[in-house]
Amino acid sequence: MAKEIFMPKLSSTMQVGTLLQWYKNEGDSVDVGEPLFEIMTDKINIEVESYEEGILLKKYFEEDDEVPINHVVGYIGEAGEKVPDSPPGESGAAKEQEDVSDSREAQVEDLTEQGISETVTEHISDDSHGENAAAEKPRATPAARRVAREENIALSDVSGSGPNGRIHQNDVMEFAASKTSFKATPLAQKVATAEGVDLQAIKGSGTNGKIYRADVENAKQASPAAGTGGKRIKMEGIRKVVAQRTLQSKTTAPHVTLTTEVDMSEAINLRKQLLGMIEQQTGFRISYTEIIMKAVAFSLKQHPNVNVSLEGNEIVYKEDINLGLAVAADNGLVVPVVKHVDQKGLSSLTAECKRLGKAARDNQVKPDEMSGGTFTVSNLGMYAIDAFTPVINQPESAILGVGRINEKPVGVDGAIELRPMMVLSLSFDHRVIDGAPAAAFLTELKEALEQPVILLV
């Protein structure tokens, strides 16, 4: 009997997964443990392995489709086995009740698009008299409705190729491709011609996607490359997640950033002394990142009011000190979490940071290695960057930005000396952390790095 393939739930906050790519085609044989497809959660990209062996009989979704957790995405079975044409729960006479619910959902979404309040839509959803109205709505898959919204296409204009005329994603895409014209005001067309803007690339803000002059001007402003033939890349995957989360952080948490300069002379000496010893033990060379993380953990332990998060209207003081390590991967920013840094020696901390850093760059970080962070360190010291203002990685409440180590003339006991100086930038959420305790934490951190022997005690 054919077995369902489900969209897995990989984190406590995951509600949908974006299907990035299939590794198998329909008709291919699949072994247990073999990568079947790749998804993007709200945190990471991850390969999903097969729990069954057999033939991949059906794939219901395509790349970039967003699929709810526990939803059937395909089937594995024996060659020639019959499986539903549509995902279970989305179509078919045997699923009539689910069809009615689905139609209601589509109705609610359509009404929401028209600006009707959520209160009204909920009322319609619960109203038993709404079944007749729902039945008149176009029957479409969630993916088809999403594409229709993105393309400003009315589903009533699209002919469905599925059972009982159900509209699939391909139906909407083919309809969009078949459109030979778009709706735009004469003034919008005139401005577009003058500015060299392609109206086909603009989503109009008017009724049924009608393009107005403001839409053209906004498109021109948002994309300087418009009309110049510049390369355009759709924002997706981790890049899209980073954009959403940094925007959310900056717009919900009032950021305040404090900076201080640290004399790294003693930290450099400590690293030189430990370099060979730790490399012999672990096979890895200790870097300044590990020394800084150890100093951060030491300072957080002295200042627990910085190791906090805001949950609802409660400030939660974290018992663990788990540090996120911002890593620049090819496809975006990844922040694996090093757990219990305060309990680790520099040797084991070096091995853990190197292992997670490689996993992040290779897109191999596991879901539990991305969760539980209480504070993040973002180190740009390998570049010619002296200082920057990092964005808080919520739900954490503070993040440390690390600049390069650079020799500067400083005053020492009445004389001018060249010293290796480094700038630290602490961004914190002013809703839960005040300036004075944040300054005290940063001062403690500066002193720990200038006298790092204290980290070995």
What HEC string does 306-343 produce? CCEEEECCEEEECCCCCEEECEEECCEEECCEECCHHH
The closest of 331, 351, 332, 333 to 341, measured between CA atoms, is 351
Q: List CB contacts of 136: < 8 A, sequence separation 6 or more.
A: none
Q: How far apart are CA 358 and CA 39, in angstroms?
A: 20
Q: How far apart are CA 91 and CA 102, in angstroms?
A: 9
Q: Which residues of 339-352 are buried (b: 16+ CB within 10 A; e: fewer)?
A: bebbebebbbbbbb
Q: What is the pTM of this model?
A: 0.59
pLDDT at 69: 87
pLDDT at 157: 79
Domain boundary assignment for the chain = 3-77, 254-456
Q: List CB contacts of 218: < 8 A, sequence separation 6 or more.
A: none
Task: Tell the CATH topology of 254-456.
Answer: Chloramphenicol Acetyltransferase (3.30.559)
The closest of 400, 259, 374, 380 to 321, measured between CA atoms, is 374
Structure tokens belonging to residue 441: 């934490």
pLDDT at 208: 66
Strands 398-412 and 375-379: parallel
Answer for the pair 403, 222: CB distance below 8 angstroms, yes or no: no
Structure tokens belonging to residue 392: 């808080």
Q: Which sign, positive or negative, has the C-alpha torsion 265, 269, 274, 275?
A: positive
pLDDT at 257: 97
Structure tokens belonging to residue 209: 């996607």
Q: List CB contacts of 222: < 8 A, sequence separation 6 or more.
A: none
pLDDT at 42: 65
As annotated, the active-site residues are 430, 434
CA-to-CA separations, 166 to 26, 57, 102, 130, 176, in angstroms, rounded: 22, 21, 12, 20, 17
Q: How far apart are CA 328 and CA 40, in angstroms?
A: 17
CATH of domain 3-77: 2.40.50.100
In this chain, the answer to whether the domains covering 3-77 and 254-456 adopt an identical fold is no
pLDDT < 50 positions in the chain: 91-135, 180, 226
Q: Which residues of 82-91 are buried (b: 16+ CB within 10 A; e: fewer)?
A: ebbebbbebb
